Amino acid sequence: MKDDSMDIEKYQIGKELDSFNYQQVQDDILAILEKGCSAVIDMTACNYVSSTGLRVLLYSKKVAASKGLKLYLVGISHEVKDIMDVTGFDTFFDSFNTMEECLEKVKN
């Protein structure tokens, strides 16, 4: 879903992000970045991110940065946050509790 006012596009991740679905997610996020849009990844529904999944997110973040774009995470569950904290992946991302918070921040 694209927010026309800001060159930013939202992308929703399903219940899990792992080796079974990573390719589709990776392709979808890269497609957003390829269009020159920053990405807001809505993780509200996601309660598990595997090692592969963590790398999809970080790779996407780095691709975004290389294009001068942003990648935000929104609605990270406690389970996923825990994994990201202990593995250090949390340090690479700007994350928000809600989409509204994120968009507000981006606007400002």
Partner 1 sequence: MHRVDFFPTHEYQGLKLRAGRPYPFGATVLGNMVNFSVYSRYATDCTLVLFHNHEEKPFVEIPFFKEFRLGNVFSMIIFDLDYENIEYGFRMDGPFQPEEGHRFDKTKILLDPYAKLIVGRDVWGQEPNWDSLYQYRARVVFDDFDWEDDVPMEIPVNDLIVYEMHVRNFTCGAASGVKHRGTFAGIIEKIPYLKELGVNCVELMPIHEFDEFENHRLSPVDGRELFNLWGYSNVGFFAPKAAYASSGKFAMQVDELKNMVKRLHKNGIEVILDVVFNHTAEGNEQGPYISYRGIDNKTYYMLTPEGYYYNFSGCGNTLNCNNPNVRDMIVESLRYWVTDYHIDGFRFDLAAILGRDQNGNPMSNPPLLESLAHDPILGKTKLIAEAWDAGGLYQVGSFPSWGRWAEWNGRFRDSMRRFLKSDEQVLSDVKERIIGSPDLYASQGRGIKASVNFITAHDGFTLMDLVSYNSKHNEANGEDNRDGENHNNSWNCGCEGDSDDPAINSLRHRQVKNAITMLMVSQGIPMVLSGDEMGNSQQGNNNAYCQDNEIAWLDWNNLEKNADIFRYFKQIIKFRRMHKVLRYEDHLRHCDYLGHGYPDFSWHGVKAWQPESGYNNLTVAFMLNGRYAETDGVPDDFIYVAMNMHWEMHGFELPQLPDGMAWHVFANTGMPTPEDIFEPDEEPLTENQNEVLVGPRSIIILVGKGKKVK
Question: Which residues of this chain interact with partner 1, rule CB under 8 A?
Answer: 18-20, 50-52, 54-55, 58, 82-83, 85-89, 92
Q: Amino acid letter at 99?
A: M
For residues 67 and 33, give the distance between their C-alpha atoms in angstroms, rounded to a whole number: 8
Is the Cβ of residue 79 or residue 100 nearer to partner 1 in the bound state?
Answer: 79
Helices 51-66 and 22-34, axial angle in degrees (round to 10) = 10
Return the DSSP state at 6.
T
Q: Say if residues 102 and 72 touch (Cβ distance below 8 Å).
A: yes
The minimum distance between CB 56 and partner 1, in angstroms, equals: 12
For residues 7 and 38, give the distance between their C-alpha atoms in angstroms, rounded to a whole number: 6
Is the Cβ of residue 84 or residue 106 nearer to partner 1 in the bound state?
Answer: 84
Is the Cβ of residue 17 or residue 40 nearer to partner 1 in the bound state?
Answer: 17
The minimum distance between CB 62 and partner 1, in angstroms, equals: 8
Is the Cβ of residue 37 or residue 49 nearer to partner 1 in the bound state?
Answer: 49
The minimum distance between CB 99 and partner 1, in angstroms, equals: 27
